[in-house]
Amino acid sequence: MQQFEFSDISRMLTPIFARHDVDASRLLQVLLEVQDACHFIPSEAIDQIAAHFDVPRVNVEGVAGFYSFLSTRPVGEYRILFSDNITDQMLGKDELMLYLCNKLWVEPGKVSEDGLVSVASTSCTGLCDQGPAALVNGWPLTNLDRNRLDLIAELIRSRKPVADWPPMLFEVADNIRRSDVLLGQPFEPGAAMRATLARGAKETLAEVDKSNLRGRGGAGFKTASKWSFCHAAIVEEEGSMICDVGGHPERYIVCNADEGEPGTFKDRVLLNSYADLVFEGMTVGARVVGASKGFLYLRGEYRYLLKQLESVLQKRREAGLLGDAILGRADFSFDIEIHLGAGAYICGEESALIESLEGRRGRPRNRPPFPVTHGYKGRPTVVDNVETFACVAKIAERGGAWFAAMGTAQSTGTKLLSISGDCATPGIYEYPFGVTVRQILADCGAREPYAVQVSGPSGTLISWKEFDRRIAFEDLPTAGAFMVFQRKRDMFQTARNFVHFFAHESCGFCTPCRVGTELQKKIMDKIASGHGTASDLEEMKSLGHILKTMSHCGLGSSAANPVLDTLEKFPDVYVRKLKALAFEPAFDLDGALETARKMTGRDDDWAHL
Amino acid sequence: MSKTITIDGLTVPFREGQTIMDAALSAGVYIPHLCHNPEFKPHGSCKLCTVNVNGRNVASCTLPAVEGQQVLSDIAELNAERLALTQMLFVEGNHLCPACEKSGNCQLQAVAYYLGMMSPHYNHFYPQREADASHPDVMLDRNRCIYCELCVRASREVDGKNVFGLSGRGIKTILAVNSASGLLGDTDLAVTDKAVQVCPTGAILVKRRGFTVPIGQRVFDHLTIKDLQTGGGHE
Ligand SMILES: Cc1cc2nc3c(=O)[nH]c(=O)nc-3n(C[C@H](O)[C@H](O)[C@H](O)COP(=O)(O)O)c2cc1C
Ligand code: SF4
Ligand code: SF4
Ligand code: FES
């Protein structure tokens, strides 16, 4: 293990500390920088960070231990993390990862002996439309194939700094394939704000209400209701209306850009090419609920967007669209700060996100109280999805009735879909709500479609029999993921991939999910290795029930969906893998002797059971 | 006029600010629980206390009581799920009751008896977890930890020390202690700390107290956990 002297650590930490306020909410941001500088979080750094922020050491260690991108043991100077979504796997991820490992003489999940490189898997990086994808020291690598890996191995062996690698390796395309009102119509920064200020905050809330906009992050909660709850919280507290007042320092607008649901990448595109629209929607929200501070919680995987997002913010400040006295209104100040995540799907859950914003482990809070009344630092906080804010900007500009005229009765407006998997043109598709799955499949050039995972692993798996169903809250609600599987795909492997994902991402707080997701994983692995029996299927159904009904948050309660859906819709894929036995022990006696066989170099009959 | 809820048909009064669990315990109604201890702020992690309120499952230790709630608790389906959760807690750790000093005083074991647990049902995980004997007076055996964070809360809220905390994530969650060496002996934990008294299992034990009370004369050798926690055994 690398040894660091106390003074080295101090020297490294001083400039990092200087970049951040001495507020424990900056803890995660500081740890990310330390990880970058040292390739792990040295124990001495934990001590000094704890002292600097005046928090217990064990809390810092707890944060360092929670997030996938932080590590308390050294990783390689070049840390390569292959995206492990099923779509990456379908594009050959496993084989490519081994290929690179062989080239670099390193085992998957380990660090090379010289400490130069480590190669491992990570949860979906949101690049499914241009996979197989990976991250090298946080930078996205797309469209990986053997040629590119040859080059990458060469760059690593010659110790070329990642900043000097050929830019083509890092190209991330938007791949917008179908646009409608959000993506297809120009937006002039400031237009929505001018309309909001002219109309008034209360009236703007009324427009959002009229639009019937529902949250795009998955749950589909009516945005205007959420905002007025936050608003109501304030009214109760201060005994006064805040609309049209603004300028209250302790109310928060948070944009949820954690986008961790495997197969979802539409927020990536919004942030890359429509950041003004998103920031403007946040500013509209700030005006309505009276917030003066906003956060963009950007998933660690999208760190490459940080710089350009900061510059968009800066331009908006210069244009008088952010900061003090927005558009000349002395009573309206609002600014936005970007917080980075560090590899934890659970931080997309709004209360875990707030914990993470406060610099803690991303553990969902007990509710009630809800964030709208007790959110960031205990203050009323609105958390909305990136796309929701983009819609808000459009609604503020063009009115609620205009928006409500699109889509269906209960699902107004359009929806961005992130399409990946077995289709000719993966990418972003914007449709009015109500579009059929069949239509989408035709548009994206799906090849012999057999099943679609709608809204990611936590969503719904539909079979070819259901292709006339519609994307809408009334039928198939979705946060945007749309993964297409053709007939030759093994739907069991799909479910198994998702089950591994949930076990890896469970925060571990509550018993049903911490243990239940691990049990699911073990059973799916047992079936995959040919040892599954009929009773295992029954076990998974009862586990599914426990996960659904006893879990603390949405991660646990949806973690059984992939298994339950495949069991219901594709039971054959399990039956084919089962042994005809009623019971098959999970413990493989003969397998347990393998180590002994290796050590003794024996493989004769007597060395087997 | 006091407000009321019903639990399994029984009318139970509550005061503003009480949770369903608080109301139940005050009324002598037992809802199985492990991470809850009335002396501390509710936590809500073990989920044993899950009840059904107006058709939805919720953790009774964290949900505020609200006038008119109809709570179902002692019903077959919930007890079966509580049993499953208890079994999960057993298999994710290494609980060798016959060799554990806490046997007979252990709430995990007592809840298991109460729920009629006859076998672990699931396959044991046999995790590798560390025991820590570095402290002169206190033994920490992580094999028996159920992550209820009672020690974390007690150390923070009562002892004012922050000796314990969780690290890791998911099934790899671990109980960490507040020292650079990672050893309990290097923390400022004192044997008199509240944090040492609250562990519901045998994960935190006072040293040199082994079997001072013989098996057969321990708390749960006489009382069920229900009797103990609702005061029913003394009637
Ligand atoms: C495990 C989990 C992960 C989530 N991830 C995200 C996410 O990445 N982005 C998001 O907007 N919402 C996510 N959500 C939903 C949020 O909790 C919240 O409902 C949403 O941000 C609200 O915004 P909306 O009303 O605009 O949809 C997640 C929820 C859960 C339970
Ligand atoms: S359901 Fe899973 S992710 Fe949610 S709190 Fe429980 S352990 Fe954490
Ligand atoms: S050591 Fe005991 S009190 Fe502390 S978290 Fe573990 S089981 Fe709970
Ligand atoms: S006692 Fe309520 S969750 Fe543990």
The CATH code of the domain that includes A563 is 1.20.1440.230
Residues B145 and B205 in one domain: yes
pLDDT reading at A584 higher than 70: no
Please give the mean pLDDT across all residues of chain A. 94
Does B201 sit in the ligand 3 pocket, CB within 6 Å?
A: yes
CA A364 to ligand 2 center in whole angstroms: 7
Residues with a CB atom less than 6 Å from ligand 2: A 346, 364, 506-510, 513-514, 551-553, 555-556
The percent of residues above 70 in pLDDT, for chain A, comes to 94
Residues A203 and A166 in one domain: no
pLDDT reading at B1 higher than 70: no
Residues with a CB atom less than 6 Å from ligand 1: A 215-219, 221, 256, 258-261, 345-346, 348-350, 383-385, 388, 553-555
Q: Which of A466, A489, A512 is the last residue of a domain?
A: A489
A253-257, A376-380, B166-170, B206-210, range with the lowest pLDDT = B206-210
A65 lies within 8 A of chain B by CB: yes
d(CA B34, CA A473): 38
Pairing relationship of beta strands B3-7 and B70-72 according to DSSP bridges:
parallel
Q: Is residue A518 part of a domain?
A: yes
The percent of residues above 90 in pLDDT, for chain B, comes to 90
Residues A142 and A154 in one domain: yes
Domain count, chain B: 2
d(CA A313, CA A335): 9
Q: Is residue B90 part of a domain?
A: no
Stretch A408-437: mean pLDDT = 98
Query: For residue B147, which atom of ligand 3 is closest to its CA?
Result: 5
Rg (CA), chain B: 18
CA A408 to ligand 3 center in whole angstroms: 51
Residues A559 and A458 in one domain: no
pLDDT at A233: 61
Q: Exposed, middle or buried by CB within 10 Å (0-12, 13-18, 19+), for A554?
A: middle
Could you tell me the two tokens for A178?
């179908």
Choose from B166, B175, B188, B189 for mutation: most chain A CBs within 10 A: B166
Could you tell me the two tokens for A502?
């949930």
A439-447's contacts with Cβ under 8 Å and 24+ in sequence apart are A440/A471, A440/A482, A441/A467, A441/A484, A443/A177, A443/A178, A444/A177, A444/A419, A444/A484, A446/A422, A446/A484, A446/A486, A447/A422, A447/A423, A447/A486
Q: Is residue A138 part of a domain?
A: yes
Nearest beta carbon to residue A61 from set B45, B122, B176: B176
**Separation in Å, CA B3 to CA A566, B49, B120, B190:** 47, 22, 41, 43
**Using one digit for the tens of pLDDT, what is the confidence trace for A338-372?**
999 999 999 999 999 999 999 999 999 999 999 99
The percent of residues above 90 in pLDDT, for chain A, comes to 88
Mutate to test the pocket of ligand 2, among A552, A557, A561 (most ligand atoms within 8 A of CB): A552
Residues A225 and A263 in one domain: yes
**Separation in Å, CA A569 to CA A135, A345, A442, A597, B64:** 35, 27, 22, 42, 40
A51 contact partners, CB below 8 Å, separation of at least 6: none
Q: How far is A556 from chain B (nearest CA, A)?
A: 11
d(CA A256, CA A383): 6
Residues A248 and A348 in one domain: yes
A4-18, A79-93, B43-57, B136-150, range with the lowest pLDDT = A4-18
Q: Which residues of B touch A545 (CB under 8 A)?
A: 81
Report the half-sphere exposure of B199 (CA within 13 A, side-chain side): 23
Q: Which residues of A touch B50 (CB under 8 A)?
A: 549-550
pLDDT at A78: 98
One DSSP character per residue, A67-127 reads: STT--SS---SEEEEEE-SHHHHHTTHHHHHHHHHHHHT--TTSB-TTSSEEEEEES--S-
CA A552 to ligand 2 center in whole angstroms: 5
Query: For residue B149, which atom of ligand 3 is closest to its CA?
Result: 5
pLDDT reading at A583 higher than 80: no
B28 lies within 8 A of chain A by CB: no
**In which domain, by residue range, is B169 found?**
99-222
Mutate to test the pocket of ligand 4, among B30, B43, B73 (most ligand atoms within 8 A of CB): B43
**Do the Cβ atoms of A119 and A82 come closer than 8 Å?**
yes
Nearest beta carbon to residue B88 from set A46, A511, A545: A511
Stretch A241-269: mean pLDDT = 80
H helices within A418-457, ranges in order?
Answer: 437-443
Q: Is residue A496 part of a domain?
A: yes
Q: Which helix H or strand E contains B53, and what residues bound it?
A: strand B50-53
Q: How far is B216 from chain A (nearest CA, A)?
A: 30
Q: Which of A122, A139, A173 is the last residue of a domain?
A: A173
pLDDT tier, B43 (very low <50, low <70, confident <90, very high otherwise): very high
Q: Which of A379, A404, A429 is the last residue of a domain?
A: A404
pLDDT tier, A4 (very low <50, low <70, confident <90, very high otherwise): low
pLDDT at A586: 65
Does B82 sit in the ligand 4 pocket, CB within 6 Å?
A: no
Report the half-sphere exposure of A151 (CA within 13 A, side-chain side): 13
A477 contact partners, CB below 8 Å, separation of at least 6: A218, A220, A455, A459
Query: For residue A299, which atom of ligand 1 is closest to its CA?
Result: 8
d(CA A239, CA A242): 9
Does B24 sit in the ligand 4 pocket, CB within 6 Å?
A: no
Domain count, chain A: 5
pLDDT reading at B177 higher than 50: yes
pLDDT reading at A5 higher than 80: no
Nearest beta carbon to residue B165 from set A56, A508, A550: A56
A606 lies within 8 A of chain B by CB: no
